[in-house]
């Protein structure tokens, strides 16, 4: 059940990222990032897709992607790294 919830969260985040990318198709991207790997979130932020998890598709689970966030700060693109790493917060 936890895996299904995790994939639902990832799927929802990707759907949101895709819809935002379609809303901002002309947003500039960082140098060195291919157009097909860039999902623009705003004019100053985006997601860089680095890979997919095709094994999960073969197992009947929704496709997921890996990558990282970038933001423009003072006119320069910087990679955003979480301080403590990603994890799920338990709910009551």
If one counts the domains in the chain, the total is 1
Whether residue 85 is contained in a domain is answered as no
Q: Is 16 helix (H, G, I), strand (E, B) or coil?
A: helix
Residue 41 belongs to domain spanning: 2-80
The tens digit of pLDDT for each residue in 40-64 reads 999 899 999 998 876 666 666 677 7
Which band of pLDDT confidence, cut at 50, 70 and 90, is reported for residue 83?
confident
The answer to which of 13-17, 43-47, 67-71 has the lowest mean pLDDT is 13-17
- Asked whether 17 and 27 are in contact (CB, 8 A), the reply is no
> pTM for this one?
0.56
Place of tokens 């895996």: 3
Whether residue 49 is contained in a domain is answered as yes
Whether residue 10 is contained in a domain is answered as yes
């Amino acid at each position: 059940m936890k895996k299904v919830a995790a994939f639902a969260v990832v799927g929802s985040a990707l759907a949101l990222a895709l819809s935002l990318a379609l809303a901002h198709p002309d947003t500039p991207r960082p140098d060195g990032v291919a157009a097909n790997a860039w999902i623009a979130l705003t004019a100053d932020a985006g997601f860089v897709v680095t890979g997919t998890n095709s094994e999960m598709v073969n197992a009947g689970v929704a496709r997921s992607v890996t990558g990282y966030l970038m933001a423009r700060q003072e006119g320069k693109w910087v990679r955003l790294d979480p301080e403590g790493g990603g994890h799920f917060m338990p709910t009551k």
